[in-house]
Chains A and B, each alone.
Chain A
Amino acid sequence: MTEKKKALLEAFPHTIPIMTGYIFLGAAYGIIMNSKGYGVIWALLMSLIVYAGSAQYVAITFLTSVFNPIYALFLTLMVNARHIFYGLSLMNKIKDTGKLKPFIIYWMSDETFSVLCAAEPKEGVDKGYFMFFISLLNYCYWALGTAMGSLLGNMMTFNTKGLDFALTALFVVIFISQWKSQKKHIPAIIGVLSSIACLIIFGPNNFIIPSMIVILILLTIMKNKIEGDEAE
């Protein structure tokens, strides 16, 4: 078996939960775009070039209201600011991936990030290709879902309400796995409590950036404490 094929087979099971969520959410996106007069070509272009769920949903409003690219620019930057966190978190892990690195960075999503954080390939599997294929597969699911929604949207008959909870479940599972793997839980607790506090203060649409800032400050202040604990 070639190196790449081995990495692909190793990567696939890690992406199954995301496949469910992305095909469903991608299809929902395709259906909404269709209903606004943007057919399969437009929906697919957005999913393949932008590839960011929440930003694409927000961009529907840019496409259907008065032309304002500056507003689109700033709102997109705000919605996607959390990617900066992912880059900082994974910088070390992907630094030796060579020519695959730009792809892994370009295909970074909430879900891909969470899987890359948690997943380790078996001994003997190329780590770079393992992470590359996780990212690529998720990218394909999103595009596939978008195309399906665009083309077959009207044929969906079963009740899909709540299916997108698969992605929430994925994050919860990863959170628990991380919790079990760590002796000290300060970073996880800081993450949850800061976001809840910012959610209460700033509301559901504006809390991500304040949360990131608060978390960075707290982690920086507590660096000695957290690292000291780790060494024990």
Chain B
Amino acid sequence: MTTFQALTILVVVALATASTRFLPFFLFSRKSEGPYISYLGKVLPYAAIGILVVYCLKEVNLNASPYGMPEGISILIIAALHLWKENTLLSIGAGTVVYMVLVQHIFI
């Protein structure tokens, strides 16, 4: 691939990415904010985080060893820790360390 071609790819990928970010603001900037958009603003964040959790776990295979065990155990620990202490950094840090130990030493 030539430098010009690579630069073209860079520009195309950048423009496509930026357009997905700015699109809703162009679509709805003119109109005064309607009740539907304000409703979506209230409920979508909850649904969107749900998608993200599933997105992160999309490659987990429940039908083959280790059957999603490292992810399942780590998430249970994160949930328990977070419900108990409600300390974001502690929950994330402990969950990540547990996961790393599990995938590096236990479910290899």
Q: How far is the CB of A130 from chain B (nearest CB, A)?
A: 16
**Which range holds the interface residue count of chain A?**
35 or more
Q: How far is the CB of A199 from chain B (nearest CB, A)?
A: 6
**Does residue B88 face the partner (Cβ distance < 8 Å to A)?**
yes
A72/B47 in contact, CB under 8 A: no
Stretch at the interface among A3-11, A74-82, A137-145: A74-82
A51/B88 in contact, CB under 8 A: no
> Interface on chain B toward A: helix, strand, loop, or mixed SS?
helix
Nearest CB in chain A to that of B74: its residue: A165
B53/A168 in contact, CB under 8 A: yes
Which A residues are CB-close (under 8 A) to B74?
165, 169
B10/A50 in contact, CB under 8 A: yes
Which B residues are CB-close (under 8 A) to A81?
20
Identify which of B14, B22, B54, B79 gathers the most chain A CB atoms within 10 Å of its CB: B54
Which B residues are CB-close (under 8 A) to A51?
17
B96/A91 in contact, CB under 8 A: no
Which B residues are CB-close (under 8 A) to A169?
74, 78, 91-92, 95-96, 99
* Distance in angstroms between the alpha carbons of A178 and B17 in the assembled complex: 27
A175/B41 in contact, CB under 8 A: no
> Interface on chain A toward B: helix, strand, loop, or mixed SS?
helix
Nearest CB in chain B to that of A182: its residue: B46
A162 and B102 in contact, given A17-B88, A173-B88, A219-B47 (Cβ under 8 angstroms): yes
A192/B1 in contact, CB under 8 A: no
A87 and B8 in contact, given A175-B50, A192-B53 (Cβ under 8 angstroms): no
* Distance in angstroms between the alpha carbons of A73 and B1 in the assembled complex: 17
B49/A114 in contact, CB under 8 A: yes
A105/B49 in contact, CB under 8 A: no
A188/B57 in contact, CB under 8 A: no
A165/B83 in contact, CB under 8 A: no
* Distance in angstroms between the alpha carbons of A168 and B57 in the assembled complex: 8
A176 and B79 in contact, given A50-B17, A73-B12 (Cβ under 8 angstroms): yes
| Shortest 6 CB-CB contacts between residues of A and residues of B | A191-B50, A191-B47, A87-B24, A76-B16, A195-B54, A187-B46
B residues adjacent to A (C-beta < 8 A): 1, 5-6, 8-10, 12-25, 28, 33, 36-41, 43-59, 70-71, 74-75, 78-79, 82-83, 86, 88-89, 91-93, 95-96, 99-100, 102-104
